[in-house]
């Protein structure tokens, strides 16, 4: 069995998979005994979990974290690393692909350290500080297992800490049942709910509201409508959180406002990025805005501007279907969450097919009658004009992990499933009317909620899982993915129906080898 040396710091712990066992050496002023044998040490270990989660969000061009954002009905996927997930390309979506391995190994690395923290805490006095550290670790473990289960359907469940006494013990590798997975998730989150305050004691830390939000989300997967609604009701009645004006949800570098239940903290300060030397931010700001800069030309400094949201890769863009869901005259999200045209910010006339775009004018979407993928509209939720120069690829804007708008939409669904139209409409109208729409007073349907989930939460990472849970992923992709005038973006419409096993990711090839195919067979179809 493989072994890696774990270099222990307060900022970052190195990767390991569920089948990699760790030996430790002291490479800093903090000894292993201190980290796992004291209250302050446990907090350092928990800090490392947050750093690991940032590391996951910073995968090259965020190819893993956002691979499935590309693969829904709301997106025009537009080349680059991970594009094959957007079009469900069977030539590349296979067990040897790097994205499944990166997710699997990173999440199990986080889970392994959570297990270590929980086991170490059991040997310490049960102080408030220790219970807080354990609660945060259990939130991370629940979050990681929930992500793995929703992505792969079949996962290995492990709560044992690796230590010198058991490092060579034989492991029982077998897929956990759904009940086993969610029993652990429920248990972890209920512990955190009991021991955490509703709001974070430091920005970016897990809190009771985030734990309740994840529990509600998990309960929806189990069709446990009452548990889901109970969590939403408790968050709502706490008065600790409230929706902010639409133009304030994402429009700043610091997103620790009253709508954000949990934010991922990014900054150029040590601990807020991925480097102890030159700060390394994330690429998110560049992924969701069209590559307008290629039309302006020149160097990056000359062609990128804050007016057009800075440097872009243009990988993952809004689909015409998404835009069709908005009342474009009334729903303010249509203009607030998206940029629809890009300006010629140079001081020169630019020949654009058979027209000239003058300085200060906007590039048409079509050039010589053909759709120009470089100027497709973009989503500005991750847009960053606050922490990076216009020509820089990386930024340090906070990311909202969970927000109240999603909580309310989950509440609407749970109430609807319980037959409570009044409460369902109460939660539905929270986001619907905030956007400028007239209050909904009719009979609410699941289709209304499916569409409102798209309008409010597009590009925030949950649409693929939401459609999968509803059992409509294949139909939605088949009918709506991509742009009708961009042939390369439409391949998912045929590739997914032809390969229905793509509604789950393949177990990484390396993990099947490590665990043994006789113990943990590959997902069917791969």
Specify the CATH number for the domain of residue 14. 1.25.40.390
Same domain for 36 and 183? yes
Same domain for 192 and 289? no
| Cα 45 to Cα 117: distance, rounded to the nearest angstrom | 7
Same domain for 13 and 153? yes
Answer for the pair 184, 192: CB distance below 8 angstroms, yes or no. no
Residue 170, both tokens: 């034989």
**Domains in the chain: how many in total?**
2
Same domain for 168 and 295? no
Same domain for 15 and 149? yes
Residue 60, both tokens: 């090259």
Strand partners, 103: none
Query: Is residue 172 domain-resident?
Result: yes
Query: Is residue 496 domain-resident?
Result: no
Q: What letters, b where the CB count within 10 A reaches 16 and e where it falls short, cover 389-405?
A: ebebbbbbbbbbbbbbb
Same domain for 59 and 156? yes
Question: Which residue has better confidence, 377 or 168?
Answer: 377
Rounded mean pLDDT of 3-29? 34
Query: Is residue 214 domain-resident?
Result: no
Query: Is residue 206 domain-resident?
Result: no
Residue 431, both tokens: 């986001």
Rounded mean pLDDT of 99-118? 96
Query: Is residue 250 domain-resident?
Result: no
CA 509 to chain centre: 24
- Residue whose tokens read 């991925």: 274
| Cα 280 to Cα 431: distance, rounded to the nearest angstrom | 34
Domain-ending residue, one of 347, 364, 397:
397
Query: Is residue 402 domain-resident?
Result: no
Rounded mean pLDDT of 171-199? 97
Q: What is the pLDDT of residue 101?
A: 95
Query: Is residue 91 domain-resident?
Result: yes
Strand partners, 356: 351
Long-range CB contact pairs, 58-62, < 8 A, 24+: 58/274, 58/280, 58/281, 58/282, 58/283, 59/102, 60/283, 61/283, 61/286, 61/287, 61/313, 61/315, 62/282, 62/283, 62/284, 62/287
Same domain for 188 and 311? no
Domain-ending residue, one of 354, 371, 397:
397
Rounded mean pLDDT of 268-280? 72
HEC sequence for 200-228: CCCCCCCCHHHHHHHHHHHHHHCCCHHHH
By C-alpha distance, which of 524, 462, 510, 493 is closest to 65?
462
| Cα 402 to Cα 137: distance, rounded to the nearest angstrom | 17
| Cα 289 to Cα 359: distance, rounded to the nearest angstrom | 20
By C-alpha distance, which of 107, 6, 90 is closest to 52?
107
Rounded mean pLDDT of 465-493? 98
pLDDT per position as a tens digit, 206-234: 999 999 999 999 999 999 999 999 999 99
Same domain for 169 and 61? yes
Same domain for 176 and 290? no
Domain-ending residue, one of 397, 413, 440:
397
Same domain for 30 and 169? yes
The pTM of this model reads 0.93
CB atoms within 10 A of CB 155: 24
| Cα 87 to Cα 493: distance, rounded to the nearest angstrom | 8
Query: Is residue 375 domain-resident?
Result: yes
Question: Which residue has better confidence, 410 or 58?
Answer: 410
Range of the domain at 175: 3-74+82-196+507-515
Say whether pLDDT at 405 is over 60: yes
Please list the alpha-helical segments (H only) found in 284-403: 284-287, 293-296, 300-303, 320-324, 333-336
């Amino acid at each position: 069995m493989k072994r890696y040396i774990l270099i222990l710091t307060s900022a970052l712990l190195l990767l390991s998979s569920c089948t990699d066992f760790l030996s430790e050496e002291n490479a800093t002023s903090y000894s292993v005994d201190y980290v796992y044998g004291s209250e302050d040490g446990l907090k350092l270990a928990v800090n490392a979990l947050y750093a690991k989660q940032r590391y996951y969000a910073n995968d090259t061009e965020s190819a893993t974290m956002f691979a499935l954002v590309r693969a829904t009905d709301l997106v025009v996927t537009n080349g680059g690393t991970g594009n094959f997930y957007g079009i469900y390309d069977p030539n590349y979506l296979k067990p040897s692909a790097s994205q499944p391995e990166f997710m699997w190994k990173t999440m199990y690395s986080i889970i392994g350290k959570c297990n270590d923290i929980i086991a170490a805490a059991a040997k310490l006095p049960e102080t408030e500080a220790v219970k807080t550290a354990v609660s945060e670790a259990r939130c991370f473990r629940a979050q990681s297992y929930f992500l793995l289960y929703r992505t792969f359907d079949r996962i290995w469940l492990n709560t044992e800490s690796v230590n010198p006494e058991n490092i060579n013990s034989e492991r029982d590798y077998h897929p956990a049942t759904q009940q086993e997975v969610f029993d652990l998730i429920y248990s972890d989150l209920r512990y955190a709910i009991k021991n955490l305050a509703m709001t974070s004691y430091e920005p970016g830390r897990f809190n009771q509201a985030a734990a309740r939000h994840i529990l509600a989300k998990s309960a929806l997967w189990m069709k446990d409508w009452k548990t889901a609604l109970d969590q939403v009701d408790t968050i709502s009645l706490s008065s600790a959180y409230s929706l902010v004006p639409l133009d304030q949800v994402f429009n700043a570098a610091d997103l620790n406002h009253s709508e954000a239940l949990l934010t991922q903290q990014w900054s150029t300060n040590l601990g807020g990025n991925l480097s102890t030397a030159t700060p390394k931010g994330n690429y998110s700001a560049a992924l969701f805005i069209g590559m307008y800069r290629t039309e302006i030309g020149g160097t990056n400094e000359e062609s990128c501007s804050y007016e057009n949201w800075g440097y872009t890769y243009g990988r993952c863009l809004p689909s015409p279907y998404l835009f069709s869901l908005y009342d474009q005259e009334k729903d303010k999200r249509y203009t607030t969450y998206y940029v629809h045209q890009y300006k010629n910010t140079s001081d020169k006339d630019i020949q654009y097919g058979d027209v000239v775009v003058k300085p200060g004018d906007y590039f048409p979407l079509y050039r010589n009658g053909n759709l120009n993928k470089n100027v497709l509209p973009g989503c500005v939720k991750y847009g960053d004009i606050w922490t990076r120069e216009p020509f820089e690829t990386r930024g340090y804007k906070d990311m909202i992990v969970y927000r109240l708008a999603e909580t309310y939409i989950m509440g609407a669904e749970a109430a609807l499933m319980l037959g409570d139209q009044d409460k369902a409409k109460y939660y539905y109208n929270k986001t619907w009317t905030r956007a400028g729409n007239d209050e909904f007073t009719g009979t609410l349907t699941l289709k209304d909620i499916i569409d409102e989930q798209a309008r409010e939460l597009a590009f925030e990472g949950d649409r693929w899982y939401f459609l999968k849970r509803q059992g409509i992923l294949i139909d939605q992709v088949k009918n709506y993915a991509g742009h009708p005038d961009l042939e390369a973006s439409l391949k998912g419409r045929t590739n997914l129906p032809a390969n229905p096993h793509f509604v789950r990711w393949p177990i990484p090839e390396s993990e099947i080898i490590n665990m043994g195919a006789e113990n943990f067979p590959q997902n069917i179809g791969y």
